Amino acid sequence: MKKRSTWLWIVAISMVVIFACAGLVGLGLWSARAFGNGGGSGLPFGDAVAVVRVEGVIVPGEAPPPNPFTGGSTGAFSETIVEQLKNAEENDAVKAVVLFVDSPGGSVFASEEITLQIKQMTKPVISAMGSVAASGGYYVSAPTQEIWASPHTLTCSIGVIMQLINVEDFAEEYGITAVTVKSGQFKDIGNPFREVSPDDMAILQSIVDEAYENFVGVVADGRGMPAEEVRTIADGRVCSGKQAQAMGLVDNLGYLQDAIDRAAELGNIDGEPRLIEYTSQDGLFEALGSALYRPSPLEELRQIINYHPGTPLMYLYTAP
């Protein structure tokens, strides 16, 4: 009996130690997010460079509140990023902004929202590309004052894609019949239970072409290139950061710290700048949950399969 009691005490003490350590980790994560990334001097005052992150697929809307057990949601939510850019613009301490882009792109609508806000900024904004900044990731980078990329960044992919699923043969094989009641010929355009007709295709292609011309215009304006020159490389191809620089789509090769140093120079900051990270702040319990929670591979796969961008019209690099 005494031996069993001793083991219970050992287990209880071990649990207390584990939760205490996890609490300290969560408190550290929370405090880092709540009080910002000091960078530079580590002081909460002085001239600063703001870092706004566009990470993951670009989607419309605002980032949902973090789950207390899983932390924040993945994806680059346009309304949240726009709000962070506005905060940087209104903060007198911020002298320049670095837009860190690690994204394959995403929604045409959401990419445009971010781009319009960048164009309204009066402070220097430069982009720093991560491992991938393709399609919509390049779209939001194009209007910035300078673009920095790693030699190995996957970027470019200038173009538009719309993908529709057709399950007509599958439905027929399994005896599934879809009944559609519509008010006009094109009301069910893109219906997965019927083929896309030539007239349907003409309408959809016109929408894609319109978005494509807008993409070409944003790149031409941002890079100071003739639209015809942009079209010669805007065929959807993906390229490396080094290749993009040779084509005039990237200004400099480097990494995030190089872009931060350059932003400080453009913002006329003397010495090493203070950094302000604009991120979705988690509460203490969310930070603690993030520290403890690790999704299983099956859960991650389910998130990918269930992802719905909200629109089939995309500035998106669809990697194999």
Q: Please give the positions annotated as active site.
A: 135, 187
User: CA nearest 236: which of 164, 155, 165, 312?
Assistant: 155
- Record the tokens describing residue 289, joined without a space: 């949950």
- Record the tokens describing residue 302, joined without a space: 């389910």
Which position has the token pair 């057990």?
Answer: 69
**DSSP states of 253-304 as a string?**
E--HHHHHHHHHHHTT--SSPEEEEE-PPP-HHHHHHHHH----HHHHHHHH
Angle at 248 between CA 245 and CA 251, to 5 degrees: 55
- Record the tokens describing residue 180, joined without a space: 């559609």
Report the alpha-carbon distance of residue 173 to residue 242 in Å, rounded: 49
